[in-house]
């Protein structure tokens, strides 16, 4: 019954966490001077006091903090994330429209970083002092240390401007007409650079960790036994060693999921990827409290689900995890 208990516990934690996320962020948003009425008037090119007051009254911003917080929590409890003053749309609609794009980007980046990271890690672990090790280490650390918006712009200049392999921005080319596969390829082409950019940060983590973990495993007794049985080097590495070396990598990948999500904010801004990151960025600048809180709510949800999946994945590769009561 380990799995059910884990899930149940996670749900309880999740609810507590979500309430904390909401209250804390609500408080933080209100500590800052100025409000969305100012940004609305900015986007209108200025407004007089009556209009500012009208905006504040109609959105309940003139009420005391506690009243606003109470109303908000009550609404969220009824699965109503509120109405965005800035976008003139319900927050839930706004977020659900953007969520698929972000999930696509984040999952593509995460999977690409994991697969490439693990492969590179294994390659360098097999010859810890070889040239390939240095090349892999250099590439990985380069991706890790370079600011992600800089990597993005650099990739854009190289692959969009110098050679016209990939489009500059957005998620699809609206002038393209055709069936499912035409659009699939179009989205994939748009996805490539942002996913690589976002993945490049995490590639280093995964490859370095795989390398370390792999080297440790390769030195263990059962690997020696496997070799002694006369298995080929590839069989030993991929069938025996890798499975055991993976569990710290998966743990890290789960932990990093939230980091990937926040990394997406910058990547989405550079590539105009129409996802939550762009929305989050704009809402923060606009002080659009309901939208920011809604995004944080969804992000917390995604991270919680991501961690749950990590747990389940760990059980698959390492049965010991679910063993203890």
Partner 1 sequence: MKHILKGIVTGTAAAAVLATGAIAEDSPRKGGTLITVIATNVRNLNPAVQSGIVTGYPGAQLFAAPLRYDEDWTPQPYLAKSWDVSEDGLTVTLNLVENAVFHDGVPITSEDVAFSVETIKAHHPFKSMFAPVTSVDTPDEHTAVLTLSKPHPALMLAMSGQLMAIIPKHIYGDGQNPKTHPRNTENVVGSGPFKLVEYKSGEHVILERFDDFFIDGRPYLDKIVMRIITDPAARAIAYENGEIHMGAFESLPRIINRLKKVDNLTVTDEGYGGIGPLDWLAMNTTKGPLKDVRVRKAIAYAVDKNFIHKALMEGTASNSLTGIHPDSPFYNTNVEGYDLDLDKSRALLDEAGFPMKGDSRFNLTIDFGWPGVKPQVEYVKAALKKVGIAVEVRASADFPTWAARMGEMDYDMSWDTVFNWGDPVIGVHRTYSSSNIAKGVWSNTQGYANARVDELMQMAAVETDPAKRTALYAEFQEIIADELPVYHTNTLPYHTVYNDNVGNPPLGIWGTSTPIDMTYLKN
Q: Does 177 bind partner 1 (CB under 8 A)?
A: no
Residue closest to 112 by CA, chosen among 218, 173, 201: 201
Residue from the set 1, 4, 34, 131 that interacts with partner 1 by CB under 8 A = 34
Cβ distance 143 to 201 under 8 Å?
yes
Residue with tokens 């999921």: 257
Report the residue number, 167 or 306, with the smaller CB distance to partner 1: 167
Q: Please choose, out of 105-113, 171-179, 199-207, 300-308, the segment that lies near partner 1 by the rule CB under 8 A.
A: 171-179
Residue 31 structure tokens: 């500590």
**Beta carbons of 14 and 323 less than 8 angstroms apart:** no
Distance (Å, whole) CA 147 – CA 200? 10
Among 41, 75, 133, 258, binds partner 1 (CB under 8 A): 41
Q: Report if residue 51 touches partner 1, rule: CB under 8 A.
A: yes
- Least distance (Å) from partner 1 to the CB of residue 57? 13
**98 or 208, CB closer to partner 1?**
98
> What string marks each residue from 122 to 161 as x (binds partner 1 by CB under 8 A) or -?
-------------------------------x--xx--xx
Rounded to the nearest 5 degrees, what angle is found at the Cα of 87, between the Cα atoms of 82 and 90? 30
Count interface residues toward partner 1 (CB under 8 A). 52
Q: Dihedral of CA 57/61/64/69: which sign?
A: positive
89 lines the binding site for partner 1 (CB under 8 A): yes
Give the position of tokens 């944080």. 296
Select from 22, 26, 50 the least CA-distant residue to 37.
Answer: 50
Minimum CB distance to partner 1, residue 63 (Å): 18
E runs forming strands in the chain:
83-84, 89-90
Alpha-carbon distance values, 108 to 115, 270, 303 (Å): 11, 17, 16
Residue of 247, 241, 212, 213 lying closest to 226 (CA atoms):
241
Nearer to partner 1 among residue 106 and residue 156 (C-beta) = 156
Per rule CB under 8 A, is residue 60 in the interface with partner 1? no
Q: Which is nearer to partner 1, 30 or 227 (CB)?
A: 30
Can residue 94 be called a binding residue for partner 1 (CB under 8 A)?
Answer: yes
Q: How far is the CB of 171 from partner 1 (least distance, A)?
A: 7
Would you count residue 216 as binding partner 1 (CB under 8 A)?
A: no
104 binds partner 1 (CB under 8 A): no
| Residue ranges in 259-288 that form contacts with partner 1 under rule CB under 8 A | 269-272, 274-275, 278-279, 282, 284-287
Residue with tokens 């809604």: 294
d(CA 299, CA 295): 6
* Residue 103 C-beta: closest distance to partner 1, Å: 15
Q: Select 186 or 216, whichever has its Cβ closest to partner 1.
A: 186
**Distances from the Cα of 292 to the Cα of 11, 95, 125, 173, 286, angstroms:** 23, 10, 43, 29, 10
How many contiguous H segments (helices) and E segments (strands) does the chain have?
14, 2
Residue 52 interacting with partner 1 (CB under 8 A):
yes
Footprint of partner 1 (CB under 8 A): 32-36, 38-39, 41-52, 86-89, 94, 97-98, 153, 156-157, 160-161, 164, 167-171, 174-175, 269-272, 274-275, 278-279, 282, 284-287
């Amino acid at each position: 019954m380990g799995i059910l208990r884990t899930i149940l516990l996670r749900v309880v934690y999740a609810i507590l966490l979500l309430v904390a996320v909401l209250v804390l962020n609500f408080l933080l948003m209100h500590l800052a001077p100025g409000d969305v009425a100012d940004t609305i008037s900015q986007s209108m090119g200025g407004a007089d006091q009556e209009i500012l007051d009208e905006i504040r009254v109609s959105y309940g911003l003139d009420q005391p903090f506690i009243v606003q917080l109470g109303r908000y929590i009550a609404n969220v409890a009824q699965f109503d994330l509120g109405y965005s003053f800035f976008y003139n749309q319900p927050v839930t609609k706004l977020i659900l429209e953007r969520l698929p794009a972000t999930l696509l980007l984040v999952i593509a980046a995460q999977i690409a970083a994991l697969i490439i990271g693990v492969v590179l890690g294994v390659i360098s672990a097999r010859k810890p002092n070889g040239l390939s090790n240095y090349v892999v280490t250099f590439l990985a650390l380069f991706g890790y240390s370079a600011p992600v918006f800089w990597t993005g712009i650099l990739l854009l200049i190289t692959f969009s401007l110098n050679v016209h392999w990939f489009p500059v921005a957005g998620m699809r080319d609206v002038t393209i007409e055709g069936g499912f596969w035409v659009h699939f390829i179009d989205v994939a082409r748009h996805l490539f650079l942002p996913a690589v950019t976002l993945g490049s940060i995490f590639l280093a983590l995964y490859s370095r960790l795989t390398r370390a973990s792999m080297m440790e495993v390769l030195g263990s007794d059962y690997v020696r036994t496997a070799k002694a049985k006369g298995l080929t080097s590839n069989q030993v590495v991929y069938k025996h060693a890798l499975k055991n070396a993976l569990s710290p990598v998966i743990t890290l990948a789960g932990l990093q999921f939230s980091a990937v999500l926040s990394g997406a904010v910058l990547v989405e801004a550079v590539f105009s990827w129409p996802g939550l990151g762009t929305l989050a960025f704009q809402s923060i600048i606009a002080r659009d409290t309901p939208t920011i809180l809604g995004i944080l709510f969804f992000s917390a949800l995604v991270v919680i689900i991501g961690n749950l999946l990590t747990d389940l994945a760990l059980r698959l590769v390492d049965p010991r995890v679910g063993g203890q009561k």
